[in-house]
Amino acid sequence: MAQLDDPDWAVRYQLAASLGAMAPGPRERVAATLLERHGRDPIAVDAVLSGLRGSEAVVLEKILQADPPHTPDREAAITMLAATVVRGAQDVPGQALFGWIADGRRAGWQRAALLRGAEVAWLGAPMPGTSSGRRAAASVGALPCPTCPGGRAGPGGAYAYSKPEDFVVASGRAAGRGAARSIRLNREPAELLALAAGTGALAERVATILERVVWPGKPGDRTAIPALTEEDQRRYEAGREVYRNVCQACHQPDGRGQDRLAPPLVDSPLTLAAAEITTRILLNGKEGTVGLMPPVGSTLSDEQVASVLTYVRREWGQAGTPVDSATVRSVRAVTSGRTRPWTNDELMSLVATIR
């Protein structure tokens, strides 16, 4: 913290890369200050974001709450924090960000910077601090290892932009809006819809974004997933807390796991398999090429297992079906005599037979 004002760029980069080792609280305060001062420096921003994994929205809110005057560095910092929050596809921070964009009491430049973050993540708008030459360079060659310092999640997590093609899209080189994947939200973005119904440049930009976004019950969209029932929604909310207390340390707030420790839950065929299969993993554990999943479900109630599975199958833009306690109770009875974790081959064989 004492090095925040050091003029040496090497000290600044090392400080940015070391923030992930700080305790929560001081880490977010220092990160906000560093980003406000050096938001246009892509290396510093990447290094800071690498240590924030899961707390980007906290840092973003700290910057916004101070209602700071406009500077190019603050604007760039807000944009990249917003882009990372949106790309994380977590319901609570994402909906909070939509509210900030729609808040007419907020400074116009802040709302525009927040919205640009969504455009960076969803529409392939150029990231702050990039030029066409740098964007082209970003698409060449392999990424460094997921836990190397200096990338978005260096000190111990997967990248926010985790594949080479993600860097290409986020740098503004997507082949076209029609070829891009739709973005799925877990519930209606009411604040953005209200803003898009108005007039002005922000309303037009939001309307363009909403063309690419789907949510349960979106009018005229056949790809929209069914809305959660009131009971499913209750389980989803309860499951968020179970995940935070039991699962998050390994699988991380963004569900993308950790190299050599826990596999990603996002887009995992086993996470989104039939509920009877996913329940087996939680109850009995799983051995595989990435770490060993312990039988954590054996210490949870049927309702807790159903809740956390409902959460991971519908968070991060996923479209899995919810899970009820009756299913968990049935699977627990069928597998009560099992004393070893499931193997990947066993589970994939079940995927082929249980639909």
> Is the model's pTM score more than 0.75?
yes
Cβ count near 10 (within 10 Å): 8
State the pLDDT at residue 206.
94
Separation CA 24–CA 54 (nearest Å): 11
Classify burial at 88, counting beta carbons within 10 Å of its beta carbon; exposed 0-12, middle 13-18, buried 19 or more: buried
149, 151, 157, 158 alpha-carbon torsion, rounded to 10°: -150
CA atoms within 13 A on the CB side of 127: 28
State the pLDDT at residue 231.
96
Q: Are strands 213-214 and 292-293 parallel, antiparallel or unpaired?
A: unpaired
Q: What CATH number does the domain located at 230-353 have?
A: 1.10.760.10
Backbone angles phi, psi at 184, to 5 degrees: -110, 125
Domain boundaries, the chain: 9-214, 230-353
* pLDDT in 10s for each residue of the chain, 355 residues: 888 888 898 999 999 999 888 988 899 999 999 999 999 998 889 889 988 878 899 999 999 988 889 999 999 999 999 999 988 888 889 899 999 999 999 999 999 999 999 999 888 888 886 553 343 333 334 555 544 444 444 444 444 444 444 444 444 333 333 334 578 888 889 999 999 999 999 999 999 999 888 888 888 777 767 889 999 999 999 999 999 999 998 998 889 888 888 999 998 999 999 999 999 999 999 998 888 899 999 899 999 999 999 999 999 989 899 999 999 999 999 999 999 999 999 999 998 888 7
SS3 at position 45 = helix
Separation CA 22–CA 249 (nearest Å): 16
* Amino acid letter, 342: W
DSSP annotation of 258:
B
Separation CA 19–CA 55 (nearest Å): 12
